[in-house]
Each structure stands twice: as C-alpha cells, then as structure tokens.
A and B are shown apart, each in its own frame.
Chain A
C-alpha cells in the first residue's frame, strides 16, 4: 500500500528531505526497521514519514492493553500481522488483583476481524482469554500461525482443541504458566492427521495426559519442529521415542523421569540425546534423580539455557551436570542446590549471563536454601552476569557490595529476601548500603527489585544514580513520602513503578504527576494513599487513567489499590464494579 502524499512540504526544514526522498526507497528502508522505538521515532519526523511508517508496520507491541483501543490501533496500522499484548498489572501474578478485573482479548479480536486484519501471530501476557475467543480466533484468521499465551487465564483445553482443529497453518502453540481449566488431554488429538506445519509446541503447563501415539505421529510429521516442551505425563521411554523422531530440536522440555530405566532403555535414551546436536535449551526435568540425568549429558555440550527451576536438585547433581555445559549462558535453579551448588555454578559457568534461583517450599522456613555466600561465589566465577533473580533467606550489605564489584554489568537485579523488612543479618543495619552499591556501580541497570529493611536512603540513591532504570519494584520498604518523591524526581528513564505495602502517601503520589506522563504505569497497593489524593491526581492530569480497586469492607477513604496509567483511549469502558476510574 502506498503512502499518501508525495513529499508535501511542511513547516520544518525537513520538508526538502521528505520531498526528494522517493517513496519506494522509504518503504525498503522502513521494512528493515524492526525496533518499535526506531519506528516510533521515524513516525515523529514528518507526516510523510508517519504515513510511510504506519502502512509498513507489521508488528505492534502494546505494553498495556488499556493504553490504547483496538480501533485506534487498527486505524493507524492497517497492515499489522503480529500483535503482542500485555494486560493485567504484574502484581496480578501474586493475587493482588481481584478476578474479573479485565484485559479480555475478546474486544481486540472482534475489531481485528471486522477490519480484516491478516492476523498471523498473537502473543498475550496476563490477558483473559475465553474458549469462545480462542474458537473465534481459529475461525476468523486463515493465515494464523502463532499463538503464545503466558500467564493468561479464562480458558480451558476446549479452546486449545479449537485452535488445533481449525488453524491449518499453525506453526507455534506456546502455552506457558497459565491458569487454565485443564479438562482433558484430548485437544492434542484434534490436530488433523495431515497437519505438519508445527515448529513450536509447548504444553508443559498442562496436567492431563495426552494421547501419546497422536503426539508421536505429530512430532514425526512436523519436520520443522524446533521447540518441543511436553508435560509431566510423558515418561522417559516416551521421550526417547519423540527424540528419535525429532533430533533437530533446538529446545526441549522433558516430562517426568520418575520411573527407573532398564539398562537397555538407558542406553537408548542416551543415544537419542546424543543425536540431538542442536539442542540449545533444556527444561522440564521434574522429579529427576541423579541417575536420570546422565543420559542427558551428550546433549549438554551446546546448551545455552538450562532451566532446572522445577527440579529439586542437590548441589552434587547440579555440579556433575554443569561440568558438561561449558557454553551455558542462562541457568535457572531451585534453592535446593544450596550455596554449594552455587559454588559449582561459579566454578563451571564462566559464560553465565542470567542466573535465577527460585524458592522451593514457601510455606516453611527451611534451614537450607541459599544465602549470601552462594551469590558471592557466583559473582566471582561469572563476571558476565547481567540478569539475576535471587530468592534467599538472608543477605548482607557487604555481600551485595562485593557482588556488584565483581559484576558491574547488571541490567536486571532482582533480589528477594524472603522475610519482609529483614535487615542485614550480620550488622542488623538496613539493607540501604546494598542497593546504593547496586545503583552506583551498575550504570546499565534497567530493572531493579528491592527487599529487606530499607529506609528512604535507598530511594535517594536510586533517584540520583539509576539513570537507565526502567522498572522498579518495591515492597515493605521506605520510611516516608520522601523516598518515593526521590524516585519520581530522578530516574529519567523510568517506565514502570510498582509499590506495595510502603509508607508512601498522597504527598508522594502527587509529587510525580508530571512524571506519570512518561510512565507506562504506576501501581500502589496497601500504601497510605487516600481517595482524595487520587481524585486530586485525576483532576491534575485528566488524560491519565487513575483507577482505584475497592475492596469489600475496607476503609472508605483509603485507596488500597491504585493503578495509574497513561492512555489515549480514555477511561475503561469495560471496568468491573470494583474498579473506580476517578
């Protein structure tokens, strides 16, 4: 589709550039631009470029589904084929957002269909998706190729069955960590017998057993299959059969390795893994013991990403495995590996960039788990570390200072000391010094999650030094409004701010009213903000959506859950009764 206008002059000096630049060249150049930010910049240059850009845009990323309406999106970008949408605020993952809050994909799909969009890919995060929506999707877009659902809810395996039945060109079905009504495994049997276009299949999320023979045949037919992540019902023996049919896999998620293998099965499994020369990612591995890991070794040589966050491995097992993975760049483990396991990480993974240590049992205090020393060991051995998510029982300021000294390139630093408001266990001081060290040392820091006992001093430092910070998560921290004011007054690149259970009130909330224009969203729950404060903000900034979630029986003047975000679509039209837009 050709852009309208042929270099019509406009007020700026760029008019001359616009008028001598042929449209054809413009289109070719723009087709090479993939980054949303770049495209956004292009569209701001002049009207000509704006039009050229919008017609050539094929992929749109919407970080907050309520910041814009589907009508506006499709009007501006009539040719999009790939859509990525994020819905609920992130704290919905931790049950802080009541059910039926919204972010339903339905209205988007209806508009896409009405505008005859040639939808090929849909990637959703924290959206509500019903079975009807999935069925509608499968019937309305004949070229539909890729569906990715991450942390979504509202659908059942019936919806998946509709997708499998009707999407003739499906290449990707990626169902990850959703709240799904898992009725049965029969959805997998809905793929037609001649269907062979699948490249990505991830159903690790699902609990019910699928028909293995159907799965086996599907895997055999889909010669382009690159990613296969099965669920726990697939045994080691079955996995071996799948691998024999798909040695070209680059990403594999295994089932359960619970049964003991006969020596014949063992060697067959080992030789199957040996043939998987292209394996870069390995996950699943639930309920493995040391014995089950050894057949995997041949496949570990080229591994870049090892996800053991559902395997309760101990340090010795982890160490033996890591020795085989010299190229590892990303490692996710459970705290069961302990500090000793993390020492093994430090010793064996010099290329490591991304480390995540998840807690195992959150209901009881366990004597084991990881402490600050595990993290320090990793930092000595893995200087390239840039992403860390670390759940631990205890931490010290000195340890964090050492860690960032060893690894100054952190872009994502998420530290969760599991007991709220816990001080440095050695000195009993607040953890202020730790996070001050982080923001001062790590100039490239984009994402920060703080924990432990923290005063306003931490937030002063964050405001002053965290020049690249985009996302900040705060819980049970701070001493007064001043803390939040510092953050809002500094952090030039801040996009997302999520706060819970902190002593920040109206003064803090209102101090940032200019800042909120540049934020994607602000979340504040169980702080000291009141309804009046929120009303004032809404009045001051009428183009922001200031939403308060009211709970039954709560204090009328308190605003317990506040969600503020910029939007060109105006207030929500689909808000449930407990969401008040001020």
Chain B
C-alpha cells in the first residue's frame, strides 16, 4: 500500500534522546540472536545507568511502588503518576530533546566521562558527518559502520535510545524517511527533498538530466539498479522505487545520463 522510500518508524527516526559512546563488547554480542534483524533492534548487553532510565520515562517503574506503609514514593518512581495520559506526555514534551527553530539537540554521553555534551542533529546531513563530529568532539575513533559488523574493530560504538526506550546501534536505519504517496508529482518531491536536505537539485530535462545542478536524485528500483529520478512517469516511479539517494553530480556521471 504505502511505499515508504526507506524503512524505519517515525518521521525523523533519530528522535533520539541520548547518544552513548560505549566500549566494544557491549555491542559485540548482538550477532548471536538471529531474531533481532527483523525489527532492527540488536540486543545490547550494555547496562544503562538507572538515573537516565527513570528520568526519561516515569511510566517505567524501577521498583515496586506498592508500599503504602513505607515512605511516600517520589514522582519519578511511580507508574502512571501523575495521572496524565501518555498521549499528552509524548505529544507535548519530546523526551530530553529541544526542538527549536534552529536545531534538534541531543545529549551525548561517553562511557567514563564526567559530564555530557550536546549536539545538534539537524546540522549533520548523514552518518559519516555525525560520526566525524563525535570523533573530534570526544577525541576518539569510531571508524566505519558496516551493516554486518557494526563498528567492530573500533574502540567505541555509538548507540542511541529510540522512542520506545530501546538502545540501538547508530547507523542501522536510514537517516531520513520520506513517504512518496504524499507527493503528486516530481516537482513536489524534488522541492521537498531540497528543503529537507538544504540543497538545490534544480530542473529535470530529458536530454540533460539534472545537468547544471550540484546534485542528482537517484533511486534504486525493484531490480536493484540505480536510476535517475524523472525518466519514467510518476506512477511508475512510485511503484518501483525502493530507496532514494541524492548523489553528487560527479558520482552520478556513471549513470550515463548526465
């Protein structure tokens, strides 16, 4: 029915609340469980600090609160108190992120460091961008991401807490998600991509493709081939498009239509 260009839940999948740079070994065990691949969640044996858990979601109770005789529980420990529906909690205050007009700030904690830093996710266009920034901020090497191995071979692995409260490896899900059905035509889509990634793609022409522009939008079709966006009729495009990738004009030369 719906053809999301890239899989993953949520508008901006990185509605992350906290990035953590952990020591390896914590991520090393996940390959043992084969079942996790389907839902993108790798098992993590890394223990999380209790404060971050209890503060991030007072719906998760740390311990039993059914002790009416004992000390009155504080707000943070009690399930379902204060009595506010989760819809209201979630819709008003995104957990620990501040989304203002300028950026989307996320806390980053490094195992063993005495204090946390904050980064603005909106500033980065892709994973390599973000990882390079983290490397320079914390003076360490994270290295390359690979789908099979994660960050194996590196001293650190970046992880993040998703909307459900699970800890995930940074890099598994696509950076951005776009729903093609919302657009009615190529210009619609291109305009949206331009505003999403803050770049100019320009006009499509049958002869020249996107010549003159710095970027060219391409897509992977059902056969696994990388095609230039714009050649086929819109309806055919949205039914065959699996993934979108905005290539630099120099890279796209190999497609033979630039």
Question: Which A residues have a C-beta under 8 Å from some C-beta of B?
Answer: 91, 93-96, 151, 158, 161, 177-179, 183-186, 189, 205, 207-211, 213, 258, 309-310, 312, 334, 358-363, 365, 391, 416, 418-421, 475-476, 500-503, 525-528, 560
Contacts and interface: CB of A to CB of B under 8 A. Distances in A.
Given A211-B184, A418-B75, A528 B82 contact: no
B80 A360 contact: no
A325 B65 CA distance: 44
Q: Most chain-A Cβ atoms within 10 A of its Cβ — which of B2, B95, B183?
A: B2
Given A151-B85, A161-B1, A416-B83, A186 B182 contact: yes
B34 interface: no
Interface stretch (B24-32, B86-94, B109-117, B206-214): B86-94
B92 A527 contact: no
Contacts of A177: 85, 87-88
A374 B85 CA distance: 24
A207 B11 contact: yes
A35 B99 CA distance: 48
A312 B92 CA distance: 9
Contacts of B95: 363
B181 interface: yes
Nearest to B89: A362
B73 interface: yes
Nearest to B88: A358
A418 B78 CA distance: 11
A158 B11 CA distance: 17
B175 to A, nearest CB: 18
Nearest to B4: A184
A99 to B, nearest CB: 12
B200 to A, nearest CB: 20
Contacts of B74: 419
Given A185-B179, A419-B72, 15 more contacts: A93-B85, A94-B80, A94-B85, A95-B80, A151-B87, A177-B85, A211-B181, A211-B184, A310-B92, A334-B92, A361-B92, A502-B68, A503-B68, A526-B65, A526-B66
Contacts of A359: 82, 84
B59 A95 contact: yes
Interface in B7-53: 11
Q: Most chain-B Cβ atoms within 10 A of its Cβ — which of A93, A158, A310?
A: A93
B152 interface: no
A258 B84 CA distance: 26
A515 to B, nearest CB: 22
B72 A420 contact: yes
Q: Which 5 A-B pairs have the closest CB atoms?
A: A94-B80, A526-B66, A421-B72, A186-B181, A177-B87
Contacts of A91: 80
Interface of B: 1-2, 4, 11, 55-56, 58-59, 65-66, 68-69, 72-76, 78-89, 91-93, 95, 101, 179, 181-184
Contacts of B80: 91, 94-96, 500
A501 B86 CA distance: 20
Contacts, number: 115
27 contacts: A94-B80, A94-B83, A94-B84, A94-B85, A161-B1, A177-B85, A178-B87, A184-B181, A186-B1, A186-B182, A207-B11, A209-B182, A310-B92, A312-B92, A360-B92, A360-B93, A361-B92, A362-B84, A363-B58, A365-B75, A420-B72, A420-B81, A475-B83, A501-B65, A502-B68, A503-B68, A526-B66
Given A185-B179, A419-B75, A501 B68 contact: yes
Nearest to B101: A258
A527 B68 contact: yes
Contact of A96 (B68, B79, B92): B79
Contacts of B91: 310
Contacts of A358: 84, 88
A362 B184 CA distance: 41
A179 B87 CA distance: 7
Contacts of B72: 419-421, 476
Nearest to A391: B82
A158 B1 contact: yes
Contacts of A360: 92-93
A362 B82 contact: yes
A512 B158 CA distance: 57
A459 B234 CA distance: 68
Nearest to A553: B64
A178 B86 CA distance: 10
A183 B81 CA distance: 29
B39 to A, nearest CB: 13
B82 A186 contact: no
Nearest to B96: A363
Contacts of A93: 83, 85-86
Nearest to B85: A93
A503 B80 CA distance: 18
Q: Most chain-B Cβ atoms within 10 A of its Cβ — which of A309, A359, A527, A528?
A: A359
